[in-house]
């Protein structure tokens, strides 16, 4: 489809105007609505289960000075061809970019006993690590078979890195191993998995990284949504409307509006087309009772095969700055040989790979997988104590106070996401994404009733906001094409 960013040729000539329901007011759903509105279609409703728009884009206030922290999407991943970057740039949302980074240039690589690993060693490990990641990506781009059947990115990286480590003496080896392990924890959060051994080596390279740096949005990622929402009539977005079922059997519904969407409260909405943008976590949990007739077997199979992991954040607010004024990140170099406990109560924090200084008194840490899910079950006081103890060890300072406030995310337990973002798990293929995005057309009908958007339906930009936005445009554009000359 040529109109990827939804920016060219506004005028269309409708043969007839259909009625549309969009399920989910995340960026995919909002983008779909914005596109339809811009093309002159106003007879649509966006049904959102929760009490806010944005879904996995969620910016919260962290102090009285207007500073934001992101509970979900954090960075604009790349610049070139990135529609999120274009919106942010055109609307001057990036003017404050780099403000924090200009002052805070140093990333501290610290071990559990407070040792600092030299930048030189970190750079050397990063170089090898970067080469190994590129090697993993090559399996997808070439037809080269993976070393083992069903091979994982985690297994490949571990095998190859151990070989590189062999040439170092014991002390050096240990520190390099710790840096490598830290990069793996980071990779788990980038990928959205518990462990890199869950990720398909064969398909890893199908994710496309856009060129350019990764920007944050100082007024908050939600500002992107607010810009898109300006084109959507307010009354078209209905909050607190969790959808229970989508009946796409025209014979059971009104002839002219073939789909019936029923909400948990029994309210029914009829339309010619439904764009479903709920996360694949929601589909995994509910697709067998959500759709009538049931989804085709290959779509059900694709939903179950694709990976959907948990990535969470822990945001700590202190009374005062707890790190030196030039430090941007404390990279946590955990020692794999120090794990004496198996109980997650004592080990969950070992999955946090760094703390980043987002504002003077505010640190943000990321973690993924089962440790993240466990963290979701803790009280904020427990998290505060565990993080204070951790920082005391890594910074070798007993004066680190308890944070005065902890904000943490609970994406695993959120019933309307059930996780964070999708990845190609072992056994999944890129073709599963194409199967997932395939619209449903009831027998005897010439136009599809149910269309699928959302980050997990983008074949190369899955897991991102730009991927999600483009799928919203893609499906809205599909509808426009069906009803215009
Ligand atoms: C911790 C975290 C960090 C991230 N970091 C980045 C990042 O730095 N950069 C980046 O580009 N991306 C990032 N992402 C990913 C990005 O946020 C998502 O890919 C994107 O926001 C997904 O948008 P979506 O519209 O596809 O889905 P969602 O945002 O999940 O929207 C779907 C909507 O559907 C609603 N819904 C669910 N079930 C129902 C139902 N039954 N009835 C009605 N409504 C329903 C949900 O409430 C939700 O609002 C991150 C995500 C997380 C969780």
pLDDT in tens, 68-115: 899 999 999 999 999 999 999 999 998 655 555 567 778 999 999 999
Domain check: are 362 and 379 in the same one?
yes
Mark whether 202 and 347 lie in a shared domain: yes
Number of domains in the chain: 2
Report, as ranges of residue numbers, the positions in the chain whose pLDDT lies below 70.
Answer: 1-10, 95-102, 253-255
Q: Is residue 38 part of a domain?
A: yes
Task: Indicate whether 185 and 51 sit together in one domain.
Answer: no
Q: Which of 405, 483, 458 is nearest to 4 (CA)?
A: 458
Q: Which of 24, 53, 243, 265, when mutated, tests ligand 1's pocket best, judged by the most ligand atoms within 8 Å of its CB? A: 24
Look up the domain containing 353 and give its range. Answer: 98-211+311-408
Considering the domain architecture, whether residues 56 and 126 belong to the same structural domain is answered as no
Last residue of a domain, one of 408, 427, 453: 408
- Distance between CA atoms of residues 238 and 269, nearest Å: 12
57 lines ligand 1 (CB under 6 A): yes
Cβ of 279 below 6 Å from ligand 1: yes
In this predicted structure, what is the pLDDT of residue 94?
87
Give the closest residue to 485 by CA, choosing from 14, 37, 6, 38. 14
Nearest atom in ligand 1 to 468's CA: 26
Contacts of 350 (CB under 8 A, 6+ apart): 334, 339, 371
Does residue 74 have its Cβ closer than 6 Å to ligand 1?
yes
Between CA 200 and CA 462 the distance in angstroms is 15
Same domain, 245 and 278: yes
Q: Are residues 221 and 102 in the same domain?
A: no
| 32 Cβ inside 6 Å of ligand 1 | no
- Same domain for 119 and 203? yes
In a domain, 443, yes or no: yes
Domain boundary among 361, 385, 408: 408
Is any atom of ligand 1 closer than 6 Å to the C-beta of 47? yes
| Cα–ligand 1 centroid distance for 57 (angstroms) | 6
Token digits of residue 156: 């490949």
Among 418, 422, 431, CA closest to 468: 422
> Is residue 27 within 6 Å of ligand 1 at its C-beta?
yes
Co-location of 226 and 287 in the same domain = yes
Please give the structure tokens belonging to residue 225. Answer: 């949504």
In a domain, 1, yes or no: no
Structure-token pair, residue 421 = 């973002």
Q: Are residues 427 and 397 in the same domain?
A: no
75 lines ligand 1 (CB under 6 A): yes
Ligand 1 atom closest to 290 (CA): 41
Angle, CA 468 vertex, CA 312 and CA 93 arms, to 5°: 80
Shortest-distance atom of ligand 1 to CA 417? 30
Is 243's C-beta closer than 6 angstroms to any atom of ligand 1?
A: yes
**Closest-lying ligand 1 atom to the alpha carbon of residue 312:** 1
Q: From 408, 436, 459, give the residue that closes a domain.
A: 408
Provide the pLDDT for residue 1.
37
**Is ligand 1 within 6 A of the CB of residue 238?**
no
Q: Which residue from 35, 369, 465 has its CB within 8 A of the most atoms of ligand 1, so it is best to mutate? A: 465
Q: Are residues 149 and 35 in the same domain?
A: no
Is ligand 1 within 6 A of the CB of residue 464? yes
With helix as H, strand as E and coil as C, how does the chain read?
CCCCCCCCCCCCCECCCCCEEEECCEHHHHHHHHHHHHCCCCCEEEECCCCCCECCCCEEECCCCCCEEECCCCCEECCCCCHHHHHHHHCCCCCCCCHHHHHCCEEEEEECCCCECCHHHHHHHHHHHHHHHHHHHHHHHCCCCCCCCCCEHHHHHHHHHHHHHCCCCHHHHHHHHHHHHHHHHHHHHHHCCCCHHHEECCCHHHCCCCCCCEECCCCCCHHHHHHHHCCCCHHHEECCCCEEEEECCHHHCCCCCCEEEEECCCCEEEECEEEECCCHHHHHHHHHHHEECCCCHHHHHHHHHCEEECEEEEEEECCCCCCCCCEEEEEEECCHHHCCCCCHHHHHHHHCCEEEEEECCEEEEEEEHHHHHHHHHCCHHHHHHHHHHHHHHHHCCCCCCCCCEEEECCCCCCCCCCCCEEECECCCCHHHHHHHHCCECCCCCCCCCEEECCHHHCCCCCCCHHHHHHHHHHHHHHHHHHCEC
Please report, for the domain that includes residue 330, its CATH number: 3.90.660.10
Q: Is residue 444 part of a domain?
A: yes
- Is there a domain that residue 4 lies in? no
Which pLDDT score, from 0 to 100, does residue 4 have?
47
Same domain, 261 and 278: yes
pTM of the predicted protein model: 0.96
């Amino acid at each position: 489809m040529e109109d990827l960013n939804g920016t060219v040729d506004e005028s269309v000539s409708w043969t007839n105007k259909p009625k549309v329901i969009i399920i989910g007011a995340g960026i995919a759903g909002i983008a779909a609505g914005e596109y339809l509105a811009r093309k002159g279609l106003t007879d649509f409703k966006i049904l959102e289960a929760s009490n806010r728009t944005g879904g996995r884009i969620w910016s919260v206030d962290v102090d009285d000075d207007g500073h934001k922290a992101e509970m979900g999407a954090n960075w604009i991943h790349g610049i070139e061809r990135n529609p999120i970057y274009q919106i942010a740039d055109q609307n001057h949302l990036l003017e404050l970019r780099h403000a924090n980074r200009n002052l805070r240039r140093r990333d501290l690589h610290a071990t559990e006993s407070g040792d600092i690993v030299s930048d030189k060693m970190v750079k050397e490990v990063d170089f090898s690590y970067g080469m190994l990641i590129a090697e993993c990506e090559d399996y997808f781009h070439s037809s080269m078979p993976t070393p083992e059947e069903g091979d994982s990115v985690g297994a490949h990286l571990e095998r190859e890195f151990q070989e590189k480590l062999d040439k170092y003496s014991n002390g050096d080896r240990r520190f390099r191993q710790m840096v490598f392990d830290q990069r793996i924890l980071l990779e788990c959060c980038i990928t959205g998995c518990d462990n890199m051994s869950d990720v398909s080596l064969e398909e890893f390279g199908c994710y496309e990284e856009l060129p350019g740096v990764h920007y944050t949005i100082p007024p908050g990622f939600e500002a992107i949504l607010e810009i898109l929402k300006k084109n959507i009539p307010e009354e078209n977005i209905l909050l607190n409307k969790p959808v229970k079922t989508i009946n796409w059997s025209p014979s059971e519904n009104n002839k002219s509006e073939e789909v019936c969407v029923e909400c948990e409260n029994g309210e029914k909405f009829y339309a010619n087309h439904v764009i479903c943008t709920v996360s694949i976590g929601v589909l995994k949990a509910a697709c067998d009772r959500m759709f009538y007739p049931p989804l085709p077997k290959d779509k059900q199979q694709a939903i179950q095969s694709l990976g959907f992991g948990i990535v969470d954040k822990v945001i700590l607010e202190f009374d005062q700055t707890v790190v030196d004024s030039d430090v941007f990140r404390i990279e946590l170099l955990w020692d794999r040989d120090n794990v004496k406990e198996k109980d997650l109560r004592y080990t969950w924090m070992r999955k946090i790979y760094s703390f980043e200084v987002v504002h003077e008194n505010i640190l943000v840490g990321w973690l993924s997988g089962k440790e993240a899910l466990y963290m979701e079950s803790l009280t904020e006081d427990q998290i505060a104590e565990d993080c204070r103890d951790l920082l005391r060890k890594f910074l070798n300072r007993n004066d680190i106070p308890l944070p005065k406030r902890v904000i943490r995310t609970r994406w695993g337990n959120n019933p309307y996401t059930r996780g964070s973002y999708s990845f190609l798990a072992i056994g999944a293929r890129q073709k599963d994404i194409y199967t997932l995005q395939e619209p449903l057309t009831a027998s005897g009908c010439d136009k599809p009733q149910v269309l699928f958007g959302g980050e997990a339906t983008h074949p190369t930009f899955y897991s991102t906001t730009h991927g999600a936005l483009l799928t919203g445009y893609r499906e809205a554009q599909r509808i426009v094409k069906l009803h215009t000359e």
